[in-house]
Chain A
Amino acid sequence: MVVKSQESRAIKNEDDIAVVRSSVKRVVALLNFSLVNQTKIITAASELARNVLEHGGGGEARIELVDEGDRVGVRLSFEDLGKGIPDFDKAMEDGYTTGKGMGLGLGGAKRLMDEFSITSNSPSGTKVSITKWQERI
């Protein structure tokens, strides 16, 4: 997999969530994603950016255009150095929340995308990566 382009956006306040959304929107528009898939990607990005702010105390989003020859895609990574997630399985469950949300963000982002991975950031914190692919035309 080749990374064609990459940009980073800091997530420090609520306005930054909107900035991440519009940056993602601009990038996915380059890839001929259908409107439904564009909406799914932007929504997943919004969920994970909000998690970085709400649960991770702020962090960063990385937006990459990736290329695998017969398909191209967008890979989004959300990193923070917050308290981390003690139990990934539990956090992924719909309805599980330690805040006042609906507990839909993580599970929902996974459903909306093609690939989803969640890891612990060292020495603390969380990293979530999501990818959506598009056949090359």
Chain B
Amino acid sequence: MVERIPILKIGETLLVTIQVDFHDRVALALQEDLTDKIVTHSSKGVLIDISSLEMVDSFMGRVLGNIAKTSRLLDCHTVLVGMQPAIAITMTELGISLQGISTALTAEDGMELLKALMSKKQKRVSHGRQIARK
């Protein structure tokens, strides 16, 4: 049995706190679990807290990027919060760019960003309805 990272559902968003031991299989299991939950709960946003992670290597970078890409395809936004400066420096030198992932420094900022991203989409949807009615 692979150890799994808990995913909390709060309204339309899912909350994930990645623990220190972000082993490869745990990372892949999280990717799977999140995709499932986004679909079952019709979640619109995912907040991933990585403040207790001590490093992000190319494998983890790829998993995080895949989570963001997959959730986007499912009409859901991902925001990464709490990245330590040392990790940001190291990832940049390693050459990982987390394309398509929005980031915020704190969980609070991340929630604000998610709300903004989610409301932008709602506006677009209501705009689309207006056009359809005409």
- The residues of A with any CB-CB pair to B shorter than 8 Å are 14-15, 17-18, 21, 25, 35-36, 38-40, 42-43, 46-47, 50, 94, 101-102, 104-105, 107-108, 111-112
A-B contact pairs, 29 of them (CB 8 A): A14-B25, A15-B23, A17-B24, A18-B23, A21-B55, A35-B84, A36-B86, A36-B90, A38-B86, A39-B54, A39-B55, A39-B84, A39-B87, A39-B90, A40-B90, A43-B55, A43-B56, A43-B94, A46-B59, A47-B58, A50-B57, A101-B58, A101-B62, A104-B95, A105-B57, A105-B58, A108-B95, A111-B95, A112-B94
Given contacts A25-B54, A101-B58, A102-B62, contact A39 B94 (CB under 8 A): no
Least CB distance from B89 to A in Å reads 5
Task: Identify which of residues 76-128 in chain B touch chain A, using a CB-to-CB cut-off of 8 Å.
Answer: 84-87, 89-90, 93-96
Say whether B59 contacts A43, CB under 8 Å: no
Residue numbers in A under 8 Å from B54 (CB-CB): 25, 39, 42
Residue numbers in A under 8 Å from B93 (CB-CB): 40, 108, 111-112
Which 6 A-B pairs rank lowest in CB-CB distance, beginning with the nearest? Answer: A108-B94, A39-B86, A46-B57, A14-B24, A36-B86, A43-B55
Out of B59, B84, B87, B89, name the residue touching A50 (CB < 8 Å): B59
Instruction: Tell me the interface secondary structure of chain B in the complex.
Output: helix
Least CB distance from B17 to A in Å reads 18
Task: Identify which of residues 1-54 in chain B touch chain A, using a CB-to-CB cut-off of 8 Å.
Answer: 21, 23-25, 54
Instruction: Tell me the interface secondary structure of chain A in the complex.
Output: helix
Least CB distance from A73 to B in Å reads 18
Q: Tell me the complex Cα distance, A36–B62, Å.
A: 21
Residue numbers in B under 8 Å from A112 (CB-CB): 90, 93-94
Q: Tell me the complex Cα distance, A112–B55, Å.
A: 13
Q: Tell me the complex Cα distance, A68–B120, Å.
A: 58
Least CB distance from A28 to B in Å reads 11
Say whether A47 contacts B90, CB under 8 Å: no
Q: Tell me the complex Cα distance, A111–B93, Å.
A: 7
Residue numbers in A under 8 Å from B95 (CB-CB): 94, 102, 104, 107-108, 111
Residue numbers in B under 8 Å from A25 (CB-CB): 54
Given contacts A36-B89, A101-B62, A104-B94, contact A43 B57 (CB under 8 A): yes
Given contacts A14-B23, A15-B23, A18-B21, contact A104 B58 (CB under 8 A): yes
